[in-house]
Amino acid sequence: MKAGREEILSEIHKKIIGQREVINETLLTLFVGGNSLIIGVPGLAKTLLIQTMAQVLDLKFGRIQFTPDLMPSDITGTDIIQEDPKTGG
């Protein structure tokens, strides 16, 4: 497992210079099945880091650009419950 982790880190560090703590914590979060919210000013390679991790680990990458009017349902979707006319339920 350690050799695999080192190989992953080596591949990530080919594109990302520095940011070791962020990379380690993000990988740890991914491996334990958690969630992370990466916040920072523009230009810190946040998107590049996640794109690179997805590429190295052969995962799907998706990005949501947050705006002031973005609602949770815009991301998660909504359920529409329709009544069955025959049963009323």
Residue in 67, 56, 69, 11 with CA at minimum distance from that of residue 30: 56
Predicted local confidence at residue 89, as pLDDT: 62
In a domain, 67, yes or no: no
Q: Is the pLDDT of residue 37 over 70?
A: yes
In a domain, 23, yes or no: yes
CA distance to 18, 44, 72, 75, per residue, from 7 (Å):
16, 23, 37, 33
Single-letter code of the amino acid located at 1: M
In a domain, 48, yes or no: yes
Predicted local confidence at residue 2, as pLDDT: 65
Predicted local confidence at residue 80, as pLDDT: 82
Predicted local confidence at residue 72, as pLDDT: 86
Number of structural domains (the chain) is: 1
CA distance 57 to 82: 41
In a domain, 10, yes or no: yes
Q: Which range marks the domain in which residue 17 is found?
A: 2-62
Q: Is the pLDDT of residue 54 over 90?
A: yes
- Whole-number percent of the chain with pLDDT over 70: 94
In a domain, 84, yes or no: no
In a domain, 37, yes or no: yes
